Structure 1
């Protein structure tokens, strides 16, 4: 099984070399794709240097900051085109511990269509996270569970693995969501297709260097999109389409 870890970056010069080295030390068989959104702090140049020094590292340069979902979709396309069997998502800031890759890969190897690294299942947890981040994460998952019927404990996490066949069955060109809403969107699509979603415990560690990309706009996007998806799921289709036209009477037919 060949596996590719996709790491989206924007202004992660302080973290990139450190996290890539940790990934390859923990799982030497993996390949890494850095999908950089034109970082002005030189992250792209650091990625190029890592790739020049190690043929397991690859770089996808994007011209501007286009968002997390767009970066992952581009990374998926890159990896599928090159024949990788498993494609993983991972943050660049060290919040996802490379030591947890082993159990995510093991669950994927058993045939799970999507493996979620979960902070909120037994054995999982968070380190140095402020209360409001816990609230956003747990509240977002609860909201998604209620409106979308998702049977998962952590729908917003970004440490996960897709089988090649899973991504090939999804209409990736129709996924417009960004931020952590992208993670909810992909989870709901896998579940709606009747594929298996498995959660394994991970420990999430708050970043020590650089700035978080979380923003109010990201939270608002998730709230809006989940609400729209939930309404489409919960409102009967006949009501969504509007009232049916009245049957034509015999008197109104030509020649009647």
Structure 2
């Protein structure tokens, strides 16, 4: 079974169209929305869609307030692991992650353990970004890759697919990051556990509706968290069987 986890905060304008696209491209897939009490009624819209259109494959976790990206995904992962899902996706709600890539991820995960959607390998890219935004993103991946000694080109992206075994092996209660660095930490923990990681190219397009959740506080958390993760390396299980693969 396959599950897409989508964290939301004020994404009402995107949800109906996004869900229709996901279900059209991968019929039978399940979607879990983790909504952080969106003032715009995102959670209420999802509840309505469950009742009217997707009673069997759309699910919702409603949280009391804006608790952060990392905790939203952790809640979703724990929900998934209590059920019989074998492949578990992370995906944004704003169409910056195009649902057309879902079959590509599913094909890739058959031969690996964690698939990363990468903007910075051959075939990948970004659209509608300023030079400054590109610089921050590229710099963030290079900074993280250098300090944590990982070979992957895109460490900050949030379009991923995990085998359930990877999430079962990671102690989710010990994941420390809750913002921009959450994606880095999850890949780092999987890498140190020795799981195979493959990057597949995606083109990331700036969100169609709403506003970016990035802030200076989130960015600074990431800068500091990288060093905390590096310091905690010896406490994590390290294996030599990690394989690095690239789909160019």
- Secondary structure in structure 2 of the residue aligned to 1:141: helix
Deviations 1:110-136 (A, max 9, x none): 2x1110000001001111111222112
**2:244 alignment counterpart:** none
Contact kept, 8 Å, 2:180 with 2:221, in 1: the verdict is no
The answer on whether the counterparts of 1:8 and 1:92 sit within 8 Å (CA) in structure 2 is yes
Q: Is the 8 A contact 1:157 1:180 kept in 2?
A: no
Largest Rg, 1 or 2? 1
The 1-side partners of 2:41 and 2:231 are apart by 43
CA contact (8 A) 2:185 2:229 kept: no
C-alpha contact (below 8 Å) 1:93/1:209 kept by paired residues: yes
Q: Is the 8 A contact 2:32 2:61 kept in 1?
A: yes
In the alignment, what sits opposite 1:240?
Answer: none
Give secondary structure in 1 for the equivalent of 2:13.
coil
> Is the contact between residue 157 and residue 183 of structure 1 (CA under 8 Å) also seen in structure 2?
yes
Alpha-carbon separation, structure 1, partners of 2:228 and 2:177 = 12
Where in structure 1 do 4 or more consecutive aligned residues deviate above 6 Å? none
1:224 aligns with: 224
* Unmatched runs of 5 consecutive residues or more in structure 1: 235-256
Give the whole-Å Cα distance in 2 for the aligned partners of 1:167 and 1:227.
Answer: 23
1:180 positional shift: 2.1
Residue-by-residue CA offset, 1:151-178 (whole Å, 9 max, x unaligned): 1000000000000011000010001201
Corresponding pairs, count: 232
Residue 161 of structure 1 is matched in structure 2 by 161
* 3-state SS of 2:126 partner: strand
Once the two structures are superposed, what CA deviation does each residue of 1:52-111 show, in whole Å capped at 9, x if it has no partner?
Answer: 12121111111111100000000001111011001100000010000011111111122x
Match of 2:138 in 1: 138
Q: CA separation of 1:84/1:232 partners in 2, compared to 1, >3 Å: closer, same or farther?
A: closer
In the TM superposition, what is the alpha-carbon distance from 1:231 to its structure 2 partner? 4.6
Distance 1:88 1:66 in 2: 20
- Is the 2:87–2:164 Cα contact (8 Å) retained in structure 1? yes
Contact 1:158 1:180 (C-alpha < 8 Å) held by counterparts: no
Which residue matches 1:26?
A: 25
Q: Does 1:206 align with 2:206?
A: yes
The answer to whether structure 1 residue 105 and structure 2 residue 97 are counterparts is: no
Equivalent position of 1:197 in the other structure: 197
Q: CA deviation at 1:233?
A: 5.0
**Preserved CA contact (<8 Å) 1:69 1:179:** yes
Q: Are the equivalent residues in 1 in contact too, given 2:11–2:42 (CA < 8 A)?
A: yes
Normalising by structure 1, what TM-score? 0.88
**Are residues 1:128 and 2:128 paired?**
yes
For 1:137 and 1:191, how far apart are their aligned partners in 2? 21
Paired position in structure 2 for 1:88: 89
SS in structure 1 of the partner of residue 40 of structure 2: coil
